[in-house]
């Protein structure tokens, strides 16, 4: 299942009873945040919101705005054209079983080159909906061109939180290319609006966009960057998915939606973008140019302070005849991004398990905001296996950032935080069962003394084996036999 446009997806949400339209004008300055935050904090994630008349500085914008479109399990599944994200996880698992990969990297490659890849390879087109309207600089001195200038000023870009440094694009899909290999990357990095033609480009040091940027700086070449908004939500999801460097998110999106992505050449830069997106911001990043970015009310629930980041210069905007502006807000969890992150974990769990078969399940609880806390359950077979899994996770892509890893036995449901805390408290001797280590740290973590450098803690909350030095008899959990439970359940149902 694929969507022809962002609107097509919104119609599907509406038909599924998952979308609320708001016709009253609502301000992009804080008010949409206040509305969406309440919706996102409704148990289960509330509904997607389509603001038909968002206002910018008191003026109704030409473009409607949609938010919280992936902020529930059901909407996340619908975004991927599925009834349930488990279907895709299952497909990945079958793929892994059909031809076991020999390494993590080959597992990823296999996942992408498998059955679905018949549909995944992108094709090229000359005519594209995303270029129905083209706002070009026309002449040199683009900034001074007034006839039909490309400017961000018309877009309903949110000022999310009171102390934010300005307006931020919060759902931008940033397309770049490795200047050495030509490999494509699609990543989601927020963009702070400085003026109608310039923004920040917040790719953190660990991300692929930043690595591509570094190569352009070293070569002293101007870096073309295309930013897309909307289109099939598979692109937006793929931009956030933690694929390893070198694996093409456009292929991955084609695999998800079982239909190849049609690409069209940009008008002012040498990059290609999906033809069916709603908006394209074409532009470049100039090597060495940095500018303070922030503050920004971030995923962590705190404001990220000012820091220097590259600058994006706009050279053109193209868009559909009737585009919808997509966005999200981040802040104190749970927010929409929790459902996106959970879908990623679910889909890629088979890849983890192929390499570390003792892993049973894995959860990133919302309180941990992705990188602070991971619960993992394992089938323990030999001594200190919990430590092996900690090291495995700390070496696996963006899992490297995880501040706290708690390992439990396979009979503990990692999606139930209360169950995990019970095991943590009951099954550990704090000193014996803790492992402190050093590893790269999420750029957003404000707790360490220095950015990007922090310690990490793994706790082994599994039951201990004699071979691990535990020579007392490990006690049994207090439980009733299933037949007694079944009988009493039947009796209780019969009462009243």
Ligand X SMILES: Cc1cc2nc3c(=O)[nH]c(=O)nc-3n(C[C@H](O)[C@H](O)[C@H](O)COP(=O)(O)O)c2cc1C
Contact residues for ligand X, defined by CB under 6 A: 170, 185, 187-190, 202-204, 207-209, 239-242, 328, 330, 337, 340, 398
3-state helix, strand, coil in the chain (%, to 5): 30, 25, 40
Q: Figure out which of the listed residues 150, 158, 208, 349 binds Mn ion, where binding follows CB under 5 A.
A: 208
Q: For the chain, what is the radius of gyration of the CA atoms?
A: 24
Q: Edge-to-edge, what's the strand order for the sheet holding 59-60?
A: 26-27, 54-56, 59-60
* Cβ 126 to ligand X shortest distance, Å: 28
**Which span sits near Mn ion by CB under 5 A: 31-39, 169-177, 183-191, 455-463?**
183-191
**Which span sits near Mn ion by CB under 5 A: 122-130, 208-216, 268-276, 308-316?**
208-216
Concatenating the DSSP letter of every residue in 304-370 gives EPPEEEEEEEEEEEEE-SS--EEE----SSS-HHHHHHHHHHHHHHHHHHHHSTTEEEEE--GGGTT
**C-beta of 249 vs 278, nearer to Mn ion:** 249
**C-beta of 234 vs 424, nearer to ligand X:** 234
Concatenating the DSSP letter of every residue in 124-178 gives E-S--GGGSEEE---SS-GGG--SS---GGGS--BB-STT-SS-EESS-EEEEE-
* Cβ 207 to Mn ion shortest distance, Å: 8
Q: Is 185 in the site for Mn ion (CB under 5 A)?
A: yes
Instruction: Name the helix (H) or strand (E) containing 279.
Output: strand 279-293
Q: How far apart are CA 337 and CA 370, in angstroms?
A: 9
* Cβ 357 to ligand X shortest distance, Å: 25
**Residue 489 structure tokens:** 């359940």
Q: Which does 167 bind (CB under 5 to 8 A by kind): Mn ion, ligand X, none?
A: none
Q: Is 7 in the site for Mn ion (CB under 5 A)?
A: no
**Which span sits near Mn ion by CB under 5 A: 203-211, 297-305, 415-423, 461-469?**
203-211
* Cβ 191 to ligand X shortest distance, Å: 8
Q: How far apart are CA 87 and CA 401, in angstroms?
A: 28
**Which span sits near Mn ion by CB under 5 A: 185-193, 332-340, 426-434, 456-464?**
185-193
Let me know if 37 is a catalytic residue.
Answer: no
- In the set 164, 232, 248, 298, the catalytic residue is 298
- Cβ pair 186, 175 in contact under 8 A: yes
Three-state DSSP class for residue 441: coil
**C-beta of 128 vs 399, nearer to ligand X:** 399
Q: Which does 9 bind (CB under 5 to 8 A by kind): ligand X, Mn ion, none?
A: none
- Cβ pair 254, 113 in contact under 8 A: no
Q: Is 328 in the site for Mn ion (CB under 5 A)?
A: no
**C-beta of 208 vs 271, nearer to Mn ion:** 208
Active site (catalytic) residues: 298
Name the site residues for Mn ion (rule: CB under 5 A).
185, 208, 243
């Amino acid at each position: 299942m694929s969507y022809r446009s962002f609107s097509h997806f919104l119609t599907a949400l509406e038909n599924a009873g998952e979308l609320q339209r708001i016709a009253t004008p609502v301000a992009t300055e804080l008010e949409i945040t206040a509305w969406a935050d309440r919706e996102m904090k409704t148990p289960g994630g509330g509904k997607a919101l389509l603001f038909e008349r968002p206002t910018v500085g008191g003026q109704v914008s030409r473009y409607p705005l949609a938010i919280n479109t992936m902020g529930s399990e059901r909407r996340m599944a619908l975004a991927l054209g599925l009834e349930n994200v488990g279907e895709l996880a299952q497909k990945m698992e079958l793929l892994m079983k059909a031809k076991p990969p020999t390494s993590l990297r080959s597992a990823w490659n296999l996942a992408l080159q498998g059955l679905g890849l018949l549909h995944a390879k992108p094709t090229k087109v000359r005519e594209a909906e995303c270029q129905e309207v083209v706002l070009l600089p026309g002449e040199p001195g683009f900034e001074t061109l007034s006839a039909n200038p490309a400017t961000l000023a018309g877009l309903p870009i949110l000022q999310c939180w009171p102390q934010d440094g300005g307006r931020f694009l919060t759902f931008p899909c940033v397309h770049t290319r490795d200047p050495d290999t030509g490999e494509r990357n699609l990543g989601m990095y927020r963009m702070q609006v400085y003026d109608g033609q310039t923004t920040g480009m917040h790719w953190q040091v660990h991300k692929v966009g930043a690595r591509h940027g570094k190569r352009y700086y070293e070569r002293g070449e101007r870096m073309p960057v295309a930013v897309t908004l909307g289109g099939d939500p598979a692109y937006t999801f793929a931009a956030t998915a933690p694929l390893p460097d070198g694996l093409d998110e456009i292929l991955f999106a084609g695999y998800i939606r079982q239909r190849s992505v049609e690409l069209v050449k940009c008008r002012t830069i040498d990059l290609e973008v999906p033809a069916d997106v709603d908006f394209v911001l074409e532009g470049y990043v100039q090597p060495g140019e940095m500018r303070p970015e922030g503050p920004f009310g971030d995923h962590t629930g705190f404001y990220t302070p000012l820091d220097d980041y590259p600058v994006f210069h706009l050279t053109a905007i193209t868009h559909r005849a009737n585009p919808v502006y997509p966005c999200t807000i981040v802040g104190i969890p749970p927010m929409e991004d929790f459902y996106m992150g959970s879908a990623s974990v679910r889909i890629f769990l088979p890849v983890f398990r192929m390499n570390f078969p003792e892993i049973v399940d894995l959860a990133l609880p919302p309180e941990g905001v992705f990188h602070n806390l991971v619960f993992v359950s394992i089938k323990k077979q030999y001594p200190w296996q919990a430590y092996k899994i900690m090291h495995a996770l700390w070496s696996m892509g963006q899992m490297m950032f995880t501040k706290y890893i708690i390992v439990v036995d396979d009979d503990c449901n990692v999606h139930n935080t209360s169950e995990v805390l019970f095991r943590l408290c009951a099954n550990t001797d704090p000193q014996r069962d803790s492992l402190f280590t050093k590893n790269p740290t999420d750029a957003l973590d404000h707790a360490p003394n220095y950015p990007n450098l922090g310690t990490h803690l793994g706790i082994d909350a599994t039951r201990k084996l004699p071979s691990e030095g535990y020579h007392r008899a490990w006690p049994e959990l207090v439980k009733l036999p299933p037949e007694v439970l079944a009988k009493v359940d039947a009796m209780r149902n019969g009462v009243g």
